[in-house]
Amino acid sequence: MTFVFPPPPQASVAVAGSTSRFPVRRVFCVGRNYAAHAREMGKDPEREFPFFFMKPTDAVVDDGEMVTYPPRTSNFQYEAELVVAIGKEAIDTPVESALEHVWGYAIGNDLTRRDIQMEARDKGRPWDEGKAFDRSAVIGPLHPVSAVGHLSSGSISLNVNGDTKQDADLKDLIWSVPEIISILSHSFALKPGDIIMTGTPAGVGPLLPGDVCIVSIEGLGQLSTRVEKAKQ
């Protein structure tokens, strides 16, 4: 087979302690998965069924990379998140065996054009422009389950220029990792390479050009991103 032009490179995420990379197939994101964050977004944190949105695979950005302040927003925000990578097909998978499908875990930063997202939300429109823009998914090196086990508790925090902005615990996830995988697998045939960003705790806020944003998750280390001024 030939292509009419060269196909784009395969999007991928780094793997801790390896030169091999994890090929990314899809990026799923969970909305409002910590009660205190649902409250700060003006929503009832009752355990309503989770909802999902997606980012394109080529939105993925590695640890330590610069992110240019994106266009069309004046409220560019960070969201610290635990990232789950799927390594084995999951279709109609029960909660009890869902973790068998996890390849590894990483730290993520779900970058958001909050003003555009809120306008879309309030008008009942899709979130894509607020959430799925270029370079909107910072994902650190994946740590294989064989090295770090499964994460159900432990500190998740974020600082901007050294000031702590988010400080929570993974045990406060409204929907746990196995529950999210099970629910998603009843709606999509999950395949190796699929990535899930599991939602952010309270304390979301803006990033400005020059800021350095660091996300930490106990057992996974740190994820660092510097925001660069847009070129005119």
Contacts to Mn ion by CB under 5 A: 79, 110, 200
We find the least distance from the C-beta atom of residue 37 to Mn ion, in angstroms, to be 9
Q: Which is nearer to Mn ion, 110 or 194 (CB)?
A: 110
User: Residue 75: exposed, middle, or buried by beta-carbon count in 10 A (0-12, 13-18, 19+)?
Assistant: middle
We find the least distance from the C-beta atom of residue 131 to Mn ion, in angstroms, to be 8
We find the least distance from the C-beta atom of residue 199 to Mn ion, in angstroms, to be 6
We find the least distance from the C-beta atom of residue 47 to Mn ion, in angstroms, to be 18
We find the least distance from the C-beta atom of residue 80 to Mn ion, in angstroms, to be 9
CA angle 217, 55, 20 (to 5 degrees): 60
CB-side neighbour CA atoms (13 Å) of 183: 16
**How far is it, in rounded angstroms, from Cα 176 to Cα 186?**
16
Q: Which is nearer to Mn ion, 193 or 201 (CB)?
A: 201
**In this structure, are residues 168 and 34 in contact, taking their beta carbons and an 8 Å threshold?**
yes
Q: Which is nearer to Mn ion, 90 or 215 (CB)?
A: 215
Q: Which is nearer to Mn ion, 38 or 144 (CB)?
A: 38
Q: Which is nearer to Mn ion, 185 or 200 (CB)?
A: 200
Q: Which is nearer to Mn ion, 27 or 144 (CB)?
A: 27
In the complex, residue closest to Mn ion by CB? 110
Beta strands 137-139 and 60-61, pairing class:
parallel
Where in the chain does DSSP place strands (E)?
12-14, 21-23, 26-30, 52-55, 60-61, 66-68, 76-78, 80-86, 102-110, 112-113, 137-139, 143-144, 155-160, 163-169, 194-197, 205-206, 212-217, 221-228
We find the least distance from the C-beta atom of residue 169 to Mn ion, in angstroms, to be 17
